[in-house]
Chain A
Amino acid sequence: MTSLLDLQRMVRDAVFETGANGPALNAVIEHIAADDGFTAADHLLIYRRAIIGTLVRTLGAIHPVCKRLVGDEFFDAMGRVYARQTPSESPDLGDYGESFSTFIAGFEPAAELPYLADVARLEWCWHRAFHAPDEKGLDISALGNVAETDTDRIVFRLPVSAHLLTSDYPVQHIWQVNQDDWSGDSAVDLKEGGARLIVWRQGHDMRIDEPDVAELRLLNAIAAGQTLGEIGAADSLEHLDTVLPRCVQNGWIAGFELRNPY
């Protein structure tokens, strides 16, 4: 007698297998009823198509620009390869596809579009920022109340929605000209340079901002959890006095705490 667990594992393995004569499919059809005009395998394959189809549609919904860049047929074929080899570990479909950009970077047939993986990364960051928890933003007066002797212990925090992203390609420009409401010139010169981005949400407004080199370095240090004292001591951040206020002004810093000395 096959246990419920074993039966479910067999069904799952047959769903993620390729081809109509693999070992997992042959194992599970022993347990599936056949009926008028349908073999046991036919029944299982209905589920395989539906399940892989759902995962591929989800990838397409999260990565509309990638889909537009390569076309529906190519995208769906690429998505099927990814879906078969990438388990979904969450009951929430919105969590599916975090590693898709890494997969694209190594997907040989897409090698002609070297920027595609970074566009996928940008779209994933957008997706996550869109669904991130709400927050109020930095409490400037609380910051003003920190005693001067304690300022070195300040640890800033980026918005919970924020993702920092760099690329050798102008991915933000590529993303922009591929939006439905874009009406300008849609040509992008790949040689125009890379991108430094912070993707985040301010209230209900989605933002893709472009910090300069010094700003991004500070944001990275904050993301790494460094104290203001540690950041200030680093040679590379000599312009902290001007860079920090700019980051605060742009809304890129959402909160702070004081780290206790050990």
Chain B
Amino acid sequence: MTQFIDSPINGAGIGLRSRHYREILDTKPAIPWFEVLSENYFGAGGLPIYHLERIRELYPVTLHGVGMSLGSADPLNFDYLARLRKLAEQIEPAFISDHLAWISVDGRHVHDLLPLPYTEEALAHFADRVVQVQDYLGCRLLIENPSSYMGYKNVDMTEWEFLQELVKRADCDLLFDVNNVYVSGRNHGFDPVEYLHALPEGRVREIHLAGYEEQDNYLFDTHGYRVHPPVWDLYRETIRHLGPVPTLIEWDNDIPEFEVLADEAGKAQKVLTDMAAAA
């Protein structure tokens, strides 16, 4: 199955980080789009939002969050959602995304993407919340598969089965993180290609790529390195299977010079371009 996915963004974008604001505004690099971490612009004023608005005048932007806590058993945080909606009105993003995860319980936030038990109970809860958020924001959400280092004993389905059902019930889209599925596959011993082939057709609107860190006995997703060779292999397989889905290079720790990110984005762009030419 190869198909072109019609999208308000195209090609290989880069995660916008504050140390690159100046260079991007000064040199206007030929990058098709940028993604920002929504919560970094919740501050209502000052330099971060000023720079983002200048960059938005030049490029399409997507909003990517880690704070929605869609999987939490807590009530939805409408204060958070109000701040996100205000930012979305200001920035007019191509997409809004968050994760298949929970980050808080009883109002206490861990600021890390904790995995859900893939049970019927969790699925019903998660799907219901995605529907509520989509109604509130007035757009479909993209839900991203997390990297995980832990699974639960009592589960009813795999992560990819959970996502298949979620898409049916909530009519949401997906953000497929190729690095995350590679990391989780290595950590939990499943085949990432099986996961890839189980993704519901036409629902993956964006792809993420990043670099993990090799620990003693597992892979840890630090977003602090170039994309590793096996992840590039899986990415090529992903694009063969899904078509030229817009792809983002993410880097969050030890953020390098902009040209390193641009170089990584160039590699992803080449995969996308080659695949489009071959189609």
Contact = CB atoms under 8 A, between A and B. Distances in A.
B229 interface: no
Interface string A1-40: 1111101110110010000000000000011110111100
Interface stretch (B66-74, B169-177, B271-279): B66-74
Interface in B11-26: none
Contacts of B217: 37-38
B45 A134 contact: yes
Given A46-B220, A91-B39, A32 B50 contact: no
Contact of B153 (A31, A93, A135): A31
A43 B150 contact: yes
Given A5-B105, A9-B106, A47-B150, A132 B46 contact: yes
Contacts of A247: none
Interface stretch (B109-117, B201-209, B255-263): B109-117
Contacts of A5: 73, 105
Interface in A17-73: 30-33, 35-38, 43-44, 46-47, 50-51, 54-55, 58
B27 interface: no
Nearest to B81: A91
Contacts of A87: 107-109
B112 A50 contact: yes
B250 to A, nearest CB: 16
Contacts of A15: 110
A47 B103 CA distance: 11
A51 B111 contact: yes
Interface in B219-277: 220
Interface in A145-175: 161
Contacts of A1: 154
A191 interface: no
B121 A133 contact: no
A94 interface: yes
B168 interface: no
Interface string B54-93: 0000000000001111001100010010000000000000
B111 A88 contact: yes
Contacts of A54: 111-112
A133 B80 contact: no
Contact of A38 (B69, B73, B112, B218): B218
B46 A131 contact: yes
Given A4-B125, A91-B69, A92-B42, A43 B110 contact: no
B48 interface: yes
B104 interface: yes
Given A3-B73, A38-B217, A91-B80, A131 B43 contact: yes
A134 B72 contact: no
Contacts of A47: 110, 112, 114, 149-150
Nearest to A90: B109
Given A37-B217, A54-B111, A91-B67, A131 B153 contact: no
A31 B117 CA distance: 10
Contacts of B104: 91
29 contacts: A3-B121, A8-B114, A11-B114, A15-B110, A31-B117, A31-B152, A31-B154, A38-B217, A38-B218, A47-B114, A54-B111, A54-B112, A55-B111, A88-B108, A88-B109, A88-B110, A89-B108, A90-B109, A91-B66, A91-B69, A91-B77, A92-B80, A93-B111, A130-B47, A131-B44, A131-B48, A132-B43, A134-B45, A201-B46
Interface of A: 1-5, 7-9, 11-12, 15, 30-33, 35-38, 43-44, 46-47, 50-51, 54-55, 58, 87-94, 96, 130-135, 161, 201, 204
Given A7-B152, A31-B152, A91-B104, 12 more contacts: A12-B105, A12-B110, A15-B110, A32-B151, A33-B150, A35-B189, A46-B149, A55-B111, A87-B109, A89-B108, A91-B103, A134-B44
Interface of B: 39-40, 42-48, 50, 66-69, 72-73, 77, 80, 102-112, 114, 116-117, 119, 121-122, 125, 149-154, 188-189, 217-218, 220
